[in-house]
Amino acid sequence: MPTQTTTIEAFIDALPKVELHVHLVGSASVPTVLELARRHPDGGVPVDERELRAFYTFTDFPHFAQVYDRVNHLVRTPEDVATLVLGAARDLAAQNVRYVELTVTPQSHVRAGIPHHAVREALDLAAREARGRHGVQVAYIYDIPADFGIEGVRGTVTAALEHPAEALVGFGIGGIEQMRAPIRDEIRDAFRAARAAGLRSLPHAGEMTGPETIWEALDHLGAERIGHGIACVRDERLMARLRDTGTPLEVCPTSNVCTGQVAALAGHPLPRMLEAGLFVTLNSDDPPMFDTTLTGEYRAAAEAFGFGRDDLAALARNAVTASCLDDAAKRALTGEIDALL
């Protein structure tokens, strides 16, 4: 007879999934990076698969930052942007992921010399091909790279308002949270403009800093979902606010351990957040760079926290509910999850 672990693993594999928090560059797996590295052999990234896998093996946060930067510098043409999207869709399809909201940082591609309109065209083409080739529906979130300062804010607003991809659904902010303070007013203005244009406010907050960043996102950025948000457990009043409003939190456990925000998976605040009645979803963030997948996050939750089928199905349902899918698509996916139980 199969063991309980095998049964849970098979259940996770079969579970229809939605991914809400994954970065386009950070989603690039070895096959995708190998394609880009061979296309741009001067990029300082190994073009031999074995060497590339060794280079990609996570060691610490500075190494992760180096790998991310190197991969980002391989994205020089619209074709490269499309390659990233299609690679992500291929990898997600293998995990039974039906829908993904990819976080794109358009200003990093513009900095590399790709015009705004060309970035948009590449994203549009890739989203259509991803649906036809891999059966994965792709939506996009444009995020401000706080590390770029005012340039990052203005460039992202230009991309979102003047050159939006057809599948653009949200507006966010990522990067180092501590870099936001000097440009706080500009960030607020940017989110106000994006929301007025009909985009959902989906900022990262409370990953590298404390609860104050989450309060800022809620009170001044109109956040409808929070990326990460794990610092909320330090503030009971904030947890009550998140619970009462049902604000979804995009939790990325393996990422939090790899970046040093949490010492070990066993000590991750995810169980406490669920016990407090918070609306939590599971996500992968930068999966190949952290040696994980969305499926791997569900398996890790089962192993580290003892989550069973009902718990995992509830997390999968939460992701569907928190997504930007239309109501009919949400009902269909939720029905599949319920049928699997």
pLDDT value at position 2? 47
In the predicted structure, residue 254 carries a pLDDT above the cut 80: yes
In a domain, 51, yes or no: no
Structure confidence by residue, pLDDT tens digits, 195-247: 999 999 999 999 999 999 999 999 999 999 999 999 999 999 999 999 999 99
Provide the number of structural domains found in the chain: 1
Residue 207 is a catalytic residue: yes
Q: Which two tokens stand for residue 316?
A: 């999968």
pLDDT in tens, 298-307: 999 999 999 9
The arithmetic mean of pLDDT across residues 18-44, rounded, is 97
On whether residue 36 sits in a domain, the answer given is no
Q: Is residue 47 part of a domain?
A: no
Q: Which of 186, 182, 116, 113 is nearest to 144 (CA)?
A: 186
State the residue range of the domain holding 221. 4-29+77-340
The one catalytic residue in 207, 216, 250, 297 is 207
Strand partners, 101: 139
Question: What tens digit of pLDDT does each residue of 48-82 get?
Answer: 999 999 999 999 888 899 999 999 999 999 999 99
277: left (phi over 0), alpha (psi -120 to 50) or beta: left
CATH code of the domain in which 232 resides: 3.20.20.140
Any domain includes 312: yes
The answer to whether the CB of 285 falls within 8 A of the CB of 23 is yes
Q: Do the beta carbons of residue 211 and residue 232 sit within 8 Å? A: yes
Distance CA(288)–CA(29), nearest Å, equals 5
Contact 102, 141 (CB under 8 A): yes
